[in-house]
Amino acid sequence: AQSVAQPEDQVNVAEGNPLTVKCTYSVSGNPYLFWYVQYPNRGLQFLLKYITGDNLVKGSYGFEAEFNKSQTSFHLKKPSALVSDSALYFCAVRRSGNTGKLIFGQGTTLQVKP
3-state secondary structure at position 85: helix
Minimum CB–partner distance for residue 14 and another protein (Å): 26
CA dist., res. 102 & res. 91, Å (int): 10
The least distance separating another protein from the CB of residue 70, rounded to whole angstroms, comes to: 22
CA 66 to chain CA mean position, Å: 10
Please give the residue ranges that form the binding site for another protein (CB under 8 A): 9, 32, 34, 36, 41-46, 49, 51, 90, 92, 94, 98-102, 104-107
Q: CB of residue 21 vs another protein: minimum separation in angstroms?
A: 14
Q: CB-wise, 45 or 84, nearer to another protein? A: 45
Phi-psi region for residue 29, left (φ > 0), alpha (ψ -120 to 50) or beta?
left
